[in-house]
Structure formats: structure tokens, C-alpha cells
Structure 1
Amino acid sequence: MTNKIIFFLPKKTMNEATVYYVDILKHGFIKAGYSVEETEDLSDLKKINKIFVMSAKWCFIVKLFNPKAKIVTWFQGLGAEEALMTRNSLVRKRLWNCVEFFALKFSWINIYVSERMHNYYQDIYRVKDKNFFIMPCFNKKLNEDAFNLVDKYDKPSFVYAGGLDKWQCIEETLDIFCQIEKSIPAASLTLLTKDKIKAEELIKRYNIKNYKISFVSLNELDAELMKYKYGFLIRQDHIVNNVSTPTKMNSYLANGVIPIYTNVIDDFNENIRKSNYFVMLNAYDTVKTWKETITRFDSSSSLIDFKGNFLNEVRLVFLTYYNQEKYILNFCDFLKKIG
């Protein structure tokens, strides 16, 4: 009898990033001999033996609905810590603590986005999970054509793609660019965000002159990103960020954008080696020091061999860290091993 698993994928849980990640896991199951189906309807799960869910919350709900099911839970982030960080709610944090503890204890397989996330959950909840798999968040393959655009690396063009929430450090990003613009008058900044009104307010607050605010659909994002030399990914030293693997890094590198990022994401520190062709900032340095690091890098990036060396560094990251085929094979082997 063929092994079967149903992927429970409610509409609101799916976007470009999650679809790509889930597809890798599906292919791993198929390669391991499983038949794979998916549903958005909880009622379809009543008599199913093995079920994949998108979060600890859904593990809790599905397990109550079908207590005998073996659940595969994807831990995308730290629900309890995020509730406190983004909503400042101790009540929500405590509720998430209960849900996460339940999911860790009663899942058949736990999937984490980083080794640091796995270690954090083990340390906090003291639940030993035998069956776990680790894979970073990513959603794009390398586009080498993006490295060959004429004059791309000759112009100091900067981009920020994403929301304007405080935890995404948009104000720190604008503060850095404000300082850069004073040292490099030709520098330009593009904000790719839905919230144009708030973006305009923030731009004026930091007195940035050479800027553009735009929004593109997910289908157009790659074609837009590949125009720029630098991309900002600034985060504060907080456990939510320490355990994360933001897809923004993958999006930037896939499109030949030089990442400017702080050294607080443990998985990047472990797996994306410090490179002369990426701009890694010390999270505890001043904005002035960050500006000096970036402007110094920009003056050296005009060297003739820069583009080729940068591409080679990015190829290595995609071979070792953002390798879809590797994770499918590794997940398949993992499933066969646990039976």
C-alpha cells in the first residue's frame, strides 16, 4: 500500500515564498514513495493518517480534529516571540507558548528554517524531537543574466523591497541612505512597497532627495530587482531575527543585487560566508560607521573583476545553501530513514 500524505494549505497561508518551500517538501515526499494530495478544507482530514500543516497553530487545530493523525509541522517563525515583538502582547505570547509546546510534543516531524530555530525551541520547551528537518526559506533560482546588465554595477543604485513595519528596520535603512546620499550625491533609492503614503512620510522625515517609490506585482519583482546594485536587509539583534532566514536575501542574490545586511541572522553567518563582495554590517555599530563601510565598499566595487567575482560567490551560495535539488534529495533520504 502506497504511503499517502495530505498537505493542508488554507488560502491565507500560501504566497510566493511558501508555495516554493512547500513544493520542495512535496517533491521530497514523492521521491520517497508517497502519494501527495492537498486540500484547503479541514473536513477532508478526518480519517487521514499523515498530514502536513503550515504552523504550530494548525498542528494544534488539526490534532484536535483528528487526534490519531501523524502531523508534519513547519515552524516558519517564533510565534510567541513575534506576538510580543510586533503586538507587545503577553497574553498572545502565552497562548502561543502553549500552542508551540503542544506542536513540538505531538508532531511526527518538525521542520525548521534554521539550526538556531531548532536549538531555541529545544532550549525553551525542553521537548526532545527525534524527527526534524532543517531548510532555509528561499523562493528563487539564480538568474545569471541579472549580473550582465549594462552599467548595473557602475551606478550606486539602492533598493528596499518589503513592508514598512518597525521590525523590518525601515527607519534605520532610510537613516543609512540619508547619510550615503551626502557622501555619494549620485546615489538613488527605490522603495518597492504597497504603502506609498507612509513611504512618502518617512522619506520626507529623513530628507532624502533622490528617491522613487513604487510597487510591482510578484510576477514583475525579479525584473525590477535586477536593475539595482544594492539591496537593504537591516535587522536588529533580536531572537526573532536570529532564528530567521529572510527570503529577501535569496531574492537579492538571485537577481545579482549586492546585499547590505546586519550580522544578526545566525544561519546567514554560518552558511553565507563573510565575503568581500557582500556588505555585512555590525548591528551594534553606529549609522555613521555603516555609511563609511558602504561608501568604502562602493569605491572598491568599481574594479574590473568585481562582477565576475561577485557572481562566483553567489554561485557558491546557491550550490551549497539555496540548492533546491539538494533539499529534495536530503528530505527524501530523511523520510526513508524514519520510515
Structure 2
Amino acid sequence: MIFDLYKFHQSPAALNAALRHVSSVIAEGGKALIVADDATIAFVQQAGLVSEFVRVRGLLHKLAALRDLARSSGLRKVPLFVSHAVAFGPVALLLGRRFKLIYWCQGVVAAEMRLSGDRWHRILAMHLLETYAILRADAVLAVSTQMANYWRGRLSRKSEVYVVPCAPRTGIIPGIVRRPMSFCYVGGASPWQCIGKMLEIFQKIQECAPDCTLTVVTRDVDEFRSELQRAGLANSHSICITTLNGADELSDFLSGIEFGFLLRDPHLVNAVSSPIKFGEYISCGVTPIISEGIGDYSEILRNRGFRSVMSEGKPIMCENFLARPDDALLLAKQLFSAEACRSTYKSIIEG
């Protein structure tokens, strides 16, 4: 299988999730060939993934490389993994007859652009590109059941929509003792990440658990300091901000934490999502504190008896924050099973 990961280094979280797909194909005994730019290939090699690469310098060079790979393969149709609607269009129009096109749909991008206030003509163009990719692809990989149902309902796809959630590269580090009532947030400080709401909830938790702590892991240090200033927490000794590098450092940190925040506003973008942050938390035994309507995850937690799903108007009480590291680890094993991912790819390739 060929993986088009051109320019993926610009989104490390998406690249890490894509590498899970590459690993699944390799583990199933298949051959994975990555077509990418130098920066993305360097990232993949640093991650320790063993694969073959084709280096490309631009869009035209990439299309020429894909054409040559299809010709030399000896196959009637070569499986090709494409992960962005903008990249999908040229490949499908110019080389579609040579490939079995697998479109990895990570989100409803036009809706994301609308949420961020992009210009209407760019949103419309992306909507058309997404619609074409979903209808033209030989198989679609969605990141959640909610997303799969969304596209099935809107476009009445005849071919299958498969679900493979975004999986983390983190994992529990044995022997690390979790600090009681320790909370964390891992991520940026964009408005859609609801930092103000998180700090408001943490302040209410402090009222019933004065010794609780919050550690923020982010590269947006200045933005977070501004958020703390607005919340009147700039001088709080219970909150610290730090920066970590790589999955190993993050795993080490999360293995000592009880709770992790993942809050979002009600919106289509969040309703169909599969936040990698959720996977990072539960893979290290961290109990997520999440909003309603985040992909499949809010309902999954509620069905398993977690009381940390924050619905609108729900009172903040310390009894709702019961750390369940063993249950979180079990959930991670079930959601991100390598066997399930390999089985999905086997169905796609053989189907």
C-alpha cells in the first residue's frame, strides 16, 4: 500500500495518527511505501518506523512519482491512502484508474474552516472537494462512528465507510505513583479548546479539594499565562505550565496524573471528532474530564459508568471525580486494538 503523507510534518498529531495506519499494514504482513517530503520523512524516521520512502519536492513531482509507482507495481489497482481532500482531487482526476483510493477523513474540514471564520468562497471550495473525495473514494476511513454516520446520511455512499479512531503513541509507564487529585491539560490555547471553561471548573474543584493541582503541558505558554491572568489565577501555586517533547516524555508525565481535561463547545466539528488527546490520556490510565458530544467518546464513558462527562448545568462536585486508571487502560486497549485496525485494512484491501 502507498501512503501519501506529503507535507504531513506540518501537523504532528495527524502524522502520528497516520503512522498507526502504516504500522497496521506492516504488521499484517503488507508492504507500506510512504510518499512524502524530506521534513515528513525525517519525522517518520525519528519515530522509529521501518518503511520504504519516495521523496518528492512538490505536487507535480508527487503526481509523477505516484504514476511511476503504479506502472511498476504490476497490479491492476494499487491501494493508495490519501488523507486530505485537496490532495485527493488531483490524484483521483489524473491517476484514479491506477489506484484503489482510500480516503482518510479526519474531520469535516469545511465546518472547521467555518468555525475559524475563514472566507466563504474558501469554505465552499473545501465543501466541494470533501464531497467529491467521499463520493469518489473506493473506501473511506472515518475516525468515529458519528463521522461515518454523518457522511452516510448526507451523501448516501454505496461503498463501505470504515471506522478507525485516531490512536496515540503514548503508553503507561509502570511503577509511577499517581498524585492524588492531580489534573492536567495537554494541548494548545485556541478558543475552541475552552481554556476559560476548564479554569472555571478547576476553581470549583479547588473549593472542595484545596490540595488539587493542575499542570498544563503546552507550547502556547504566553497564551496560557494570559488566560490565567483573565481568570485571576496568575499567582496560583496550584497551577504550573510546562513543555514536553515526544511521546516518551508525555507518557512519563501522564502516568503520574489522575485526571485530564478535554472540553469542547457543542458543534459538528466536535461531534464527529476523535481527539488524539483522549487516547493519550486513557492509554496512560488518566481519567478524562470531557464535554458532552465529543465524537463517540462522551457516550462511551457514560455507558461505562464514568462520572466525568461534563454536561451543561451539571454541578461540580468532588464525588464526580473518581480516578479509574485500570478502567481507562482497559478502554484504551479495546478502542485502539492493533488487531482491529489490521482487520479493517485487510477488509479494505481484499474487498
| TM value normalised by structure 2 | 0.81
Q: Give the corresponding residue for 1:80.
A: 110
Of 208, 232, 239, the residue aligned with 1:207 is: 232
2:347 counterpart of 1:324: no
- Cα deviation, 1:254-312, whole Å, max 9, x if unaligned, reads 12212111121241145445344551111x226xx2x22xx2234xx4xxxx7xxx344
Contact 2:86–2:129 under 8 Å retained in 1: yes
Deviates more, 1:71-80 or 1:33-42: 33-42
Give me the whole-angstrom Cα distance separating, in 2, the residues matched to 1:141 and 1:204.
32
Give me the whole-angstrom Cα distance separating, in 2, the residues matched to 1:314 and 1:234.
18
2:2 counterpart of 1:6: yes
Structure 2 residue ranges without an equivalent (≥5): 37-55, 57-61, 71-76
Paired residue type of 1:182: E
Say if 1:31 and 1:212 are closer, same or farther in 2 by CA, change over 3 A.
closer
Q: Give the corresponding residue for 1:112.
A: 142
- Per the TM alignment, residue 88 of structure 1 is displaced from its structure 2 partner at its CA by 4.4
- Per the TM alignment, residue 139 of structure 1 is displaced from its structure 2 partner at its CA by 1.4
Q: Give the corresponding residue for 2:176.
A: 149
Deviates more, 1:172-181 or 1:327-336: 327-336
Q: Give the corresponding residue for 1:168.
A: 193
Give me the whole-angstrom Cα distance separating, in 2, the residues matched to 1:250 and 1:161.
12
Higher relative contact order (CA 8 A, sep 6+): 1
Say if 1:322 and 1:280 are closer, same or farther in 2 by CA, change over 3 A.
same
What CA RMSD, in Å, does the superposition of the two structures yield over aligned residues? 2.4
- Per the TM alignment, residue 79 of structure 1 is displaced from its structure 2 partner at its CA by 0.7
Equivalent runs, 1:211-226 vs 2, <5 Å? 211-219=239-247, 220-226=249-255
Matched residue SS, 1:59: helix
Give me the whole-angstrom Cα distance separating, in 1, the residues matched to 2:326 and 2:215.
26
Q: Give the corresponding residue for 1:252.
A: 281
- Per the TM alignment, residue 89 of structure 1 is displaced from its structure 2 partner at its CA by 3.2
Of 33, 37, 41, the residue aligned with 1:37 is: 33
- Per the TM alignment, residue 180 of structure 1 is displaced from its structure 2 partner at its CA by 2.2
Q: Give the corresponding residue for 1:296.
A: 319
Contact 1:24–1:328 under 8 Å retained in 2: no
Deviates more, 1:42-51 or 1:213-222: 42-51
Deviates more, 1:31-40 or 1:201-210: 31-40
Q: Give the corresponding residue for 1:242.
A: 271
Give me the whole-angstrom Cα distance separating, in 2, the residues matched to 1:280 and 1:69.
46
Q: Give the corresponding residue for 2:40.
A: none
Q: Give the corresponding residue for 2:92.
A: 63
The alignment-based identity, stated in percent, is 24
Contact 1:160–1:232 under 8 Å retained in 2: yes
Say if 1:137 and 1:171 are closer, same or farther in 2 by CA, change over 3 A.
same
Matched residue SS, 2:264: coil
Matched residue SS, 1:38: strand
Deviates more, 1:252-261 or 1:87-96: 87-96
- Per the TM alignment, residue 19 of structure 1 is displaced from its structure 2 partner at its CA by 4.2
- Per the TM alignment, residue 325 of structure 1 is displaced from its structure 2 partner at its CA by 2.1
Matched residue SS, 1:87: coil
Equivalent runs, 1:99-138 vs 2, <5 Å? 99-124=129-154, 126-138=155-167
Give me the whole-angstrom Cα distance separating, in 2, the residues matched to 1:130 and 1:316.
32
- Per the TM alignment, residue 327 of structure 1 is displaced from its structure 2 partner at its CA by 1.5
Contact 1:29–1:335 under 8 Å retained in 2: no
Q: Give the corresponding residue for 2:209.
A: 184
- Per the TM alignment, residue 232 of structure 1 is displaced from its structure 2 partner at its CA by 0.3
